[in-house]
Structure 1
Amino acid sequence: MVAYKTLKALANTDLAVFAQDVGLRYQWVFNGGNSWLQSDVTGKSDLDVLGGAAGERASAVKQEVLDRQVPARFELAVPSQRGLRWFDVRVDVDRDDDGVVVGIIGTSMEITEQKRREETLKTLLRELSHRSKNLLAIIQSLASQTARHAVTVPEFLVRFRGRIQSLASSQDIVTDADWRGADLASLIAMQVERYAPDGMQQIMFTGPDVYLTPTASLHVGLALHELAVNAASYGSLSVPGGRVAIRTALVESEGGDIRLSLSWVETNGPRVKADRDARFGTSTLERIVPNSVGGEARLEYLPEGIRYTLLVPDSQFELIDEKAAS
């Protein structure tokens, strides 16, 4: 009765039970179900049933169990039309009433979904490690650039903290989007609005909105931060009535590739001096940001206000609204 109930309970699981003789030919299989043991395998070996590398591996492990008379556990990859299917196989020697080894007995449980989750987790961890290293490299570059132009330690701390906060804000958007990236409109609101006395009333964003890759999100966010801080300190966001126009457009390069043109134009602000302030993040805007996204940048000191243009290759963004680009 106990054996009957045990078998009945097993029938409602994905666990298959099997026995093989000393020649490693199957004697019987219970609850083969949809596994590699589903067909009639009686009298067949693993090489007959599985063939190839899977059959050789299963035969080798089971032969070692017979030779050493110790249990073993191994993962078996079985090719199928949907890709590899994975099974957790456990085997031990089978003895008769006199204690003589008459073969092996074992179980097989499919773990394909578990293996897929493990691979997904490994991929995510590798991606996290890669992004963490990139972020540390960005921070190191910012620290060097900030220290190079800071006159005093307090000035360095203020500027460096602002840039780190900019990275953190952009990273929050990227993380909330499951690492897909960040939409440009959110980056503008996050990085620029806080520096405008009248909020987004002083900021005009026109053109197609795009989703930037995580790398582009961090660097474009950093560029917007540098421009906003300068505008709030010396430019159009430092006086009432000052305006910043942020425009995007899709442009075609000479090679036929589509790029995103992102421009920052200041108006109604103080007249811009011809000489540059070395402490302003020109290195970030003209070198670090464009190099990091594989694009190009131009920073102009026009009398009516600063103008900055960044060209981003299509590998770093995707359109959110196709109609907006037409």
Structure 2
Amino acid sequence: MLGSATVLRVRFVQPASAQDPATFRAFEAMVQATPDLLYVFDLQHRFVYANDALLTMWGMTWEEARLKTCLEIGYEPWHAAMHDEEIERVIATRAPIRGDVPFPHSEKGVRIYDYIFTPVFGEDGEVEAIAGSTRDVTDRRQHEEHLQLLIHELNHRVKNTLSTVQSLVRQTLGTAEGLDEGGHKIESRLLALSRAHDVLTRENWHSADIRDIVAGAIAPYEDVPGSRFDVAGPPCRVTPKRALALAMAMHELGTNAVKYGALSNEAGRIRIQWDCTDIDGRQSVSFQWRETGGPDVVPPRRRGFGSRLLERGLRNDLGGDVGLRYAPTGVEFNATAPLDAHAR
């Protein structure tokens, strides 16, 4: 079936293999079993050998491909001309060359291939053929590009997190009555941030479901689920930035509720609910926090870091509207934010 390719293949291994049928059969089995594309050109740039992997990529039989050039096989003219030039360069320099190129696979679509052309020397020391080996590196390239993207995203997120921590520390210490109080507040806020990061890490930082964010935020405040909080809302995913903003908002609300509100006595309860709605033709999430059963609420005489975070910082991070109301029956917090389509 292979015709004149037999001699070239034998010489490509070693002359002794021509006298050793077992070695030749082992070599043949190896080149046919490998997923790499193996082939040989003669000095007229014609294929005189192609393994099964290459024939499968072409979607051809060896009888259809034998002694044809790249152009005759069906390569794009620019692609065939590139290989013609490379073959001549290997012959002239007597040295291998390496490159990569996209090529349409008969079954897998366009793939990226890494290849090397190597001179095959005859008994007279002259180049008598060019052996080629090509490997599909599409998955590896995509993996490398994905890793590079992750590195850029990680760098961006680390910078954002450090900015958040810097602002948190600066403003907390600026309003704290002492270092002990400031240190305690900073620690609790960092833990809240950490819990939100845990949720996002499980989701590969693509988006997070509000129910998971809420569950992590209220976990420190009730031993038995449902004992202090009534939680209701449909599946609703938000971007990492909005997930962190909601987590920090609930931490501040929870801290305030423990000190002054519904969690400061045994009778108080908090209702958290959200919904995905259409606001002005755009999909949005509406979020509510309602406290009842706690002591009568007295609006604070000054706005601390927590209040400023809820009213101003959150508006920026959510990209929507927020409202904080110190109703006599309990603190009420509302927020609306647009939903990105990819976070749904």
Same fold by TM-score greater than 0.5: yes
Cα deviation for residue 303 of structure 1 reads 1.8
Q: CA RMSD in A?
A: 2.7
Change (3 A) 1:268 1:122: same
Q: State the 1:232 CA deviation.
A: 0.6
Aligned to 1:265: 290
Structure 2 residue aligned with 1:187, among 213, 223, 228?
213
Q: Deviations over 1:18-56 (max 9, x none)?
A: 222334333332333322484644444334442155434
Distance 1:52 1:148 in 2: 70
Q: Deviation at 1:67?
A: 2.9
1:301 Cα deviation after fit: 1.6
User: Within the alignment, does 1:176 sit opposite 2:202 as a pair?
Assistant: yes
Deviations 1:120-166 (A, max 9, x none): 33333333333333323322332333233233332222212111111
The question of whether the paired residues in 2 share the 8 Å contact of 1:212 and 1:316 is answered with no
In the other structure, the counterpart of 1:45 is 69
2:226 maps to 1:222: no
| Structure 2 CA distance for partners of 1:263 and 1:76, relative to 1, 3 Å | same
1:231 CA drift (Å): 0.6
**Partner Cα separation in structure 2 for residue 198 and residue 35 of structure 1:** 61
What is the deviation of 1:90? 1.9
Letter of the 1:241 counterpart: A
Aligned to 1:300, which of 325, 330, 333?
325
- Partners of 1:243 and 1:317 lie apart in 2 by 34
Does residue 103 of structure 2 align to residue 78 of structure 1? yes
SS class of match (1:200)? coil
Q: Are 2:155 and 1:134 equivalent residues in the alignment? A: no
Q: Distance in 1 between matches of 2:110 and 2:330?
A: 61
Find the counterpart in structure 1 of residue 33 from structure 2.
12
Q: Secondary structure at the match of 2:57?
A: coil
Which structure has the larger Rg? 2
Give the AA of the match of 2:179.
Answer: V
The answer (yes or no) to whether the contact 1:149–1:278 under 8 Å persists in 2 is no
| Correspondence list, 1:36-115, <5 A | 36=58, 38=60, 40-48=64-72, 49-80=74-105, 82-115=108-141
Q: CA deviation at 1:169?
A: 0.5
Among candidates 53, 56, 72, match of residue 34 of structure 1:
56
Amino acid at match of 1:186: D
Write the distance in 1 (CA, Å) between the matches of 2:158 and 2:59. 45
- Segments of structure 2 that go 5 or more residues without pairing to the other structure are 1-20
The Cα shift of 1:117 comes to: 3.1
Cα deviation 1:82-113 (Å, max 9, x = unaligned): 54212231211122210112331122233333
More helix by share: 2
SS at match of 2:226: helix
Post-superposition shift, 1:57?
4.1
- Matching residue of 2:45: 24
Confirm or deny: 8 A CA contact 2:236 2:276 kept in the other structure. no
* Range moving further from structure 2, 270-279 or 30-39: 30-39
User: Any conservation in 2 of the 1:196–1:202 contact (CA below 8 Å)?
Assistant: yes
64-73 vs 160-169, greater mean Cα deviation: 64-73
Counterpart secondary structure, 1:261: strand
- Could you say if the C-alpha distance between residues 86 and 198 of structure 1 is closer, same or farther in structure 2, counting changes exceeding 3 Å? closer
Contact 1:35 1:110 in 2 (8 A): no
**For this pair of structures, how many residues does the alignment match?**
318
Q: Where does residue 6 of structure 2 map in the other structure? A: none
SS of residue matched to 2:25? helix
Residues 286 and 74 of structure 1, relative CA distance in 2, 3 Å threshold: same
| Structure 1 segments (4+ residues) deviating >6 Å | none
Residue 311 (structure 2) aligns with: 286
SS of residue paired to 1:35? helix
Cα gap change, 1:116 to 1:38, in 2 (>3 Å): farther
Q: TM-score, normalised by structure 1?
A: 0.86
TM-score, normalised via structure 2 length: 0.82
Q: Percent identity?
A: 27
